[in-house]
Amino acid sequence: MQETVGTGEQRAAGAAPADGGRVHEGVWVSAPYRESAADAQALILVDAQSAFLTGSHAVPDAAGLTLRLAALLERARAAGAVVVHLRNDGEPGAVDEPGSPGWELLLPVRESDREHVVRKDEDDGFAGTGLAELLRGRGVGRVVIAGVLSEMCVSATAAGAVERGFAVVLPHDTHATYGLDDIPAPVVSRVAEHALGDDPELVRSADRVGFTAPSGGVPG
How many residues does this entry show for the chain?
220
The C-alpha angle with vertex 53 and arms to 49 and 173, in degrees rounded to 5, equals: 105
b/e per residue, 34-59, with b = 16+ CB within 10 A? beebeebbbbbbbbbbbbbbbeeebb
Given 84, 153, 209, 218, the catalytic residue: 153
**Distance from chain centroid for Cα 110:** 20
Per the CB < 8 A criterion, the answer to whether 149 and 184 are in contact is no
Q: Would strands 142-148 and 167-171 be described as parallel, antiparallel, or unpaired?
A: parallel
Verify whether residue 193 is a known catalytic residue: no
Tell me which residues are annotated as active site. 153
